A and B are shown apart, each in its own frame.
Chain A
């Protein structure tokens, strides 16, 4: 490679005019995606993409521009545009870039050359194997809507006139299987996955088995009458819930009065068993990274400790506004957006029991294996929580009949205080929160 990503970022920062702060955030990603269908490769995508986001702060006003290429003319245009955009922002005494804070980035081994050396043919074979395994897992599996292998080699670099210089590279790959189970006219769907830093860590057999089991066990599902009961969230569902809770724990949401946690610091907001940590230095997390998107070291942040609200997540701007320090929690929506505070790798402190042990202790409940409409029925400002759900009833400690076309509803505030137990089955997922089984009492299941 002619010029490293950090050199590109450094060069742009070096173009700063007098009285101007400049930060460049550059990324490069190499991706392979293979989809198998009916024993054939349905599609194979190989691609490399790159881009840069340029932030300019002048006279306490911030501007931003981006380009989807690293060609010099595009870099120059992005800086020019960013500079011009800054003129229109309202002056803000807290505006500015992140400054080095002396915290050393964790030494993490997140880049595996094994993935880069893994031949495309072997990736294709993994996708085909996943599809075969899903299809043959159960005679009631009548189709595989998608069986996919996907990987990324991701590199980012930040350089700024404030003295930040950081770079980070991670590899990641995953398998996902979405299966169709049929019995007569009825069809149900199931999802299975496996994530790892390198292909050797992937488990196609497990992804296929999970996918098939989740689909087949829903066969015969009916819409039950409305009831109020204890739900046990599957790890994947818990992770989706945690991501929403995390969005209300950012300094930005709190400072702007958009968080249900705004005035609750130091108070009990959840049951004592609930300890929520955001920690991108956890190497097992799919979204682990030693640096945040402003180039500061990531660090573990215990947000809720034994049910007590202890911390919010800060990027440098929101930290200055709050009179706090950055928690190394700057996140960006890719190179095309400005940084703000956000969770990077959430997890609950796990309990000790398996999901089976938890359900065995429930006389009447619902195991929720999938939810829909988390974006349309959950409001992290008001706390209203209502999502579509499917899963299995729990009766007398046993998994019983499947249910579909129901919603589960409560409020985020109540969900956290109604937690009955956190499972011991911590699971890493291809998203910014880890999963774990979570039992919550007194949830309304709305049905017929």
Chain B
């Protein structure tokens, strides 16, 4: 049986003070310790069998020292007094300011604990109950027909407890629980193999499954794969693209989200650098990044620098109002962090990251948006994407898409990427539906680090995007 979880503090206060003091021994403006204790468990069904259950724990501390423009960083899995002292010394040496900045650090009282958002802690749920979800999903997917030749289902949960303290006296903690479920199906037909996938994930406990029926998910994934067996090659060239509710979040994440991260802006590696106050999008676009949305996949109480999550309006009625900030970039500008400093684990330095990025509902009837499009593509379900923030060119994948012909959704098309340029696409958004929805939970990759992010949009239309198919 799992070891009962202890809810005690991750590190005694005096050890926090001692480590921060040691980290500043050779000077520096800021010392920070980030302690993390993460437990994960997962169960995987594939090929009709419960293949494996995996559980694990990783625990450690990352220590950084900022001196001038240089950050020294060291991490250790050894949370003993000597282990932390060694890491503090390594971080201090790496920052190598050479000054004698000896000063004692005493952190303040811990910031108020987050309101509990977890009703059913996954660690309290029997493993057999998790396994049952998998077998239910398998059966439901296969009930869609013999053409469904393969089903994989995965359950995963994690509990990530963090403590952040720094030489300003900050001490803050958070307890982040996430639960995820995914189903992938393979369908086989005359045209070869096709795949369909569905994912659900929230920053909640096992109560995820009160609202999310894994059998329904499995059937949707299976039907997606079956539909694509009839798909024809996607068109190639530039045309109007309508993205269904929820899906457009990935588009904004890539088209401008990354470009609004202050670290990239500061290096002039973003097409949005120097454009605060400019009309960068169609007036119907208001883009918000909001880490406070309880339960959403990109939610947290504090970021990985100890700053409370916030609701940040990035684009208001098409006008660029602000970037997203972490501590280092905010300090340079003499402003506060926007609560977007995140890291994959204690083994990484934090940087500016998105949380839940979305565009609220518009005024158009979604049916009218399609009806008003004479020829184009309707993207019902998206894969991931990628952007070059310096040029603004970005791609995103369509994993379920259809042709729009004479205002009607007609034949399914095969998978592929769409490509566009962020600033052009933002100004080219000409319809926004009333049907806002959050999209699938995602893992955003940047500079080798993955963090959970959410996004959402209503149905929307981009006047011109390039569809990367092979058909004329």
User: Does B468 lie within 8 Å of A49, measured CB to CB?
Assistant: no
The reply on A101 being an interface residue by CB < 8 A is no
User: Does B53 lie within 8 Å of A88, measured CB to CB?
Assistant: yes
Which of A256, A390, A408 is in CB contact (< 8 Å) with B47? A256
Q: With A42-B71, A180-B390, A404-B391 as known contacts, state yes or no: A383 contacts B192, CB within 8 Å.
A: yes
Write the nearest CB–CB distance from B388 to chain A, whole angstroms.
Answer: 6
Closest to B151 in A: A256
Q: With A257-B186, A384-B415 as known contacts, state yes or no: A446 contacts B56, CB within 8 Å.
A: no
Contact with A along B383-397 (1 / 0, CB 8 A): 111111011011111
The reply on A145 being an interface residue by CB < 8 A is yes
The reply on B238 being an interface residue by CB < 8 A is yes
User: Does B466 lie within 8 Å of A373, measured CB to CB?
Assistant: no
User: Does B73 lie within 8 Å of A45, measured CB to CB?
Assistant: yes
User: Does A44 lie within 8 Å of B470, measured CB to CB?
Assistant: no
Which of B59, B60, B72 is in CB contact (< 8 Å) with A44? B72
Q: Hey, which chain A residues are within 8 Å of B49, CB to CB?
A: 89-90, 92
Q: With A47-B74, A407-B395 as known contacts, state yes or no: A384 contacts B416, CB within 8 Å.
A: yes
Closest to B50 in A: A90
The reply on A372 being an interface residue by CB < 8 A is yes
Contact with A along B211-243 (1 / 0, CB 8 A): 000000000000000001000001011100000
The reply on A50 being an interface residue by CB < 8 A is yes
The reply on A377 being an interface residue by CB < 8 A is yes
Q: Hey, which chain B residues are within 8 Å of A78, CB to CB?
A: 56
* Segment 411-436 of A: residues with Cβ below 8 Å from B: 411
User: Does B415 lie within 8 Å of A373, measured CB to CB?
Assistant: no
Q: Hey, which chain B residues are within 8 Å of A66, CB to CB?
A: 54-58
* Majority-rule SS of A interface residues: strand
Interface residue tally for chain B (C-beta within 8 Å): 85
CA distance A45 to B343 in the complex (A): 14
Q: Hey, which chain B residues are within 8 Å of A409, CB to CB?
A: 234, 236, 416, 468-470
CA distance A267 to B428 in the complex (A): 48
Q: Hey, which chain B residues are within 8 Å of A180, CB to CB?
A: 267-269, 390
The reply on A354 being an interface residue by CB < 8 A is no
User: Does A377 lie within 8 Å of B416, measured CB to CB?
Assistant: yes
Contact with A along B410-423 (1 / 0, CB 8 A): 00001111111100
Which stretch in A57-65, A129-137, A292-300, A357-365 binds the other chain?
A: A57-65
* Segment 346-363 of A: residues with Cβ below 8 Å from B: none
User: Which of B50, B395, B467 has the most C-beta atoms of chain A within 10 angstroms of its own C-beta?
Assistant: B395
Contact with B along A35-59 (1 / 0, CB 8 A): 0011011111111111100000000
CA distance A146 to B263 in the complex (A): 11
Binding site for B on A (CB under 8 A): 37-38, 40-51, 62-69, 74, 77-78, 81-82, 84-86, 88-90, 92, 120, 142-143, 145-146, 180, 187-189, 223, 226, 255-258, 260, 336-338, 372-373, 375-377, 379, 381-384, 386-388, 390, 404-411, 444, 446-448
Question: What are 14 sample pairs from A and B whose C-beta atoms fall under 8 A apart?
Answer: A38-B69, A43-B73, A68-B77, A82-B55, A143-B267, A143-B269, A187-B391, A189-B390, A223-B466, A373-B395, A376-B383, A387-B468, A405-B420, A409-B416
The 9 lowest CB-CB distance pairs between A and B, nearest first, are A407-B468, A376-B397, A68-B58, A377-B417, A386-B416, A373-B395, A446-B236, A85-B53, A66-B56
Q: Using A40-B69, A226-B237 as known contacts, list a sample of 7 further A-B pairs with CB atoms less than 8 Å apart, ordered by residue number in A.
A: A69-B60, A88-B128, A143-B267, A189-B390, A257-B193, A376-B417, A407-B418
